[in-house]
Structure 1
Amino acid sequence: MAALKEKRTCGQRCEDFGRFVWNSDDGTLMGRTPEKWVYISLYYVAFYVVMTALFCLAIWTLMYTLDPYTPDYQDRLKSPGVMVWPDTYGEETVEIFYNTSDKASGKKMANILNEFLKPYNDTKQLECNNYNCTKGKYFIQNTFSAPHHTKWSCPFTQSMLGPCSGLEDPTFGYNCSRPCVIIKMNRDGQENVAKIEYFPDRGIIDPSYFPYYGKLAQPTYVNPLVAVRFSLVEEKKAKIQCRVVSHKISYENFHDPYEGKVIFSLKALK
């Protein structure tokens, strides 16, 4: 019993470990002969090759069944999202505050709008989208009649935004109290806004820009826009709500108050 309880020295333990790693008497490496190690290695290589092949086959089958002409990213919400530019965010909502006496403040807003409107350049739009769309009707396309097996897209040019296009006034009105914002639909009133102007006229988006068939089918498609020029009461904060106006689109969702609309604040300082 005393021999069983005898503690082994550090040297003995190192010797035992060395014998475990390589036992010259049995010719084993870590308890197995080199031949067995070869068999085990081949087994795991074959196992992981088969698993990888099955995984790749499953991914390929999934991708093969997906329609490449369906938009990749879709939401469960039935109503479309609404956004506003310049997209300068405050603590809770978009807050478009600027100082009319500070040129850098207005230039920052103008740069955001210029960057956003680059895809809407008149020359680029008319080169890519030269199809003569019928206004007032949905542009239903059952075939891929455009070049490179794609579908036509209706052009939406920067000049269609009128004084809010940045072509007539590069400052977009941010050098005074008549700023322009770019949205997608209409909006509700507010007492701190003296006057509202829409571009295109009445803030209507023509149905000829819909439906959207996806990026692959319509590679030159750009979202139609509405520009709004406000005449603000200086030093007064105006809370603006832009919402979609359509009998098929909901904007009164109790669980999602921002469905179908966007809310932002606008203020011109001196």
Structure 2
Amino acid sequence: MTKEEQKPGEGKEGKTRWTDCIYNPRTGEFIGRNASSWGLILLFYLVFYGFLAGFFCLTMWVMLLTLEDHVPKYNDRVPSPGLVIRPKSLDIVYNRSDPANYGQYIRHLDTFLQRYNDSEQASNELCLAGEFYDQDAEAQKKACQFRRSTLRICSGISDPNYGYSEGKPCILVKMNRIIGLKPQGEPYVNCTAKRDSPLSVQYFPAAARIDKMYFPYYGKKVHEKYVQPLVAVKLLLTKEDYNKEITVECRVEGSNLRNNDERDKFLGRVTFRVLVTQ
């Protein structure tokens, strides 16, 4: 039989179409593998990733068994706390004649001081001043009272504007919490202006002292009602101070807490700027 006499369709069975790369109907292969081959591969990866997931869960479980619920196992924090201020801004700029201009600072202080309300603090302990309040043997730690009224004219009780309307704003200074910290000496806050002439300030409580009875701190879970002691700093600005930017630095003095580390500008100190316009 010559080539011309071949029947139609003969010789086409050996031809391969491009769709056979995905599914070959003659061999039953899908992407080059039959059903049994695909089943073995899926079984292998199911067992492999199942083992990895189980091993990961096992290591996490063992690690969690070594951790304390309330105190970090490894504490790489600095041994001295940083200082922060409220209202939460390092640039306090406002016009004392415009209540809407300084309203944000008033609202921030009102919100922050809610936990310090005398009614809230009445359930806390009346602690012995000047003594550390050690509670190592107690499962649930108690908190010492720090009443809002202690801040007097900077408490927002007698003056709801915290002195901002008269151009003599109140700034609240507090230390960051460090579990187990027991500062030595008699820590207090000292604020100065970075300029040639001194800046008159008034502190509440008296002498800007941070009492030892608020230490040590035991952690958020067991020391739920704990509130950090505050020092209110009232900046007694005069007319000559208005319309001038004043840089103020507050430091923790009188103790072993560090306040002069040039690598950390907030370690034991805080610097902020104040600009009051009329």
TM-score range, shorter chain: 0.7 to 0.9
Paired with 1:237 and 1:24, the residues of 2 have a C-alpha distance of 84
Counterpart position of 1:139: 133
Normalising by structure 2, we get a TM-score of: 0.81
- Please report how far the alpha carbon of residue 187 of structure 1 lies from its aligned counterpart in structure 2 after TM superposition: 2.4
The letter for the 2-side match of 1:27 is G
Cα distance 1:20–1:73, how it changes in 2: closer, same or farther (>3 A)? Answer: same
- Which of 120, 124, 142 aligns to 2:120? It is 124
Query: Taking every aligned residue pair, what percent have the same amino acid on both sides?
Result: 34
- Please report how far the alpha carbon of residue 255 of structure 1 lies from its aligned counterpart in structure 2 after TM superposition: 2.3
Cα distance 1:126–1:193, how it changes in 2: closer, same or farther (>3 A)? Answer: farther
Normalising by structure 1, we get a TM-score of: 0.83
Pairwise CA RMSD: 2.2
Paired with 2:108 and 2:165, the residues of 1 have a C-alpha distance of 15
Show the 5 A alignment for 1:1-270.
16-70=17-71, 76-88=77-89, 94-127=90-123, 129=124, 131-144=125-138, 149-184=139-174, 186-190=189-193, 195-234=200-239, 235=242, 236-270=244-278
SS of residue matched to 1:83 = strand
The letter for the 2-side match of 1:64 is L
The letter for the 1-side match of 2:148 is Q
Paired with 1:212 and 1:71, the residues of 2 have a C-alpha distance of 13
| Contact kept in structure 1, 2:190 and 2:208, CA below 8 Å | no
Cα distance per residue 1:204-260 (max 9 Å; x no partner): 111111111101121111111111112102313322111111432111113223321
Number of positions where the alignment pairs a residue of Structure 1 with one of Structure 2? 246
SS of residue matched to 1:213 = coil
- Please report how far the alpha carbon of residue 121 of structure 1 lies from its aligned counterpart in structure 2 after TM superposition: 2.0
The letter for the 2-side match of 1:161 is L
5+ unaligned residues in a row in structure 2: which ranges? Answer: 1-15, 175-187
- Please report how far the alpha carbon of residue 179 of structure 1 lies from its aligned counterpart in structure 2 after TM superposition: 1.1
Cα distance 1:142–1:81, how it changes in 2: closer, same or farther (>3 A)? Answer: same
The letter for the 2-side match of 1:113 is L
Paired with 2:75 and 2:59, the residues of 1 have a C-alpha distance of 23
5+ unaligned residues in a row in structure 1: which ranges? Answer: 1-14, 89-93
The letter for the 2-side match of 1:249 is L
Paired with 2:18 and 2:71, the residues of 1 have a C-alpha distance of 62
Cα distance per residue 1:119-140 (max 9 Å; x no partner): 222222223x2x2311101111
Paired with 2:47 and 2:18, the residues of 1 have a C-alpha distance of 31
| Contact kept in structure 2, 1:239 and 1:264, CA below 8 Å | yes
Cα distance 1:98–1:243, how it changes in 2: closer, same or farther (>3 A)? Answer: same
Cα distance 1:192–1:106, how it changes in 2: closer, same or farther (>3 A)? Answer: farther
Larger radius of gyration: 2
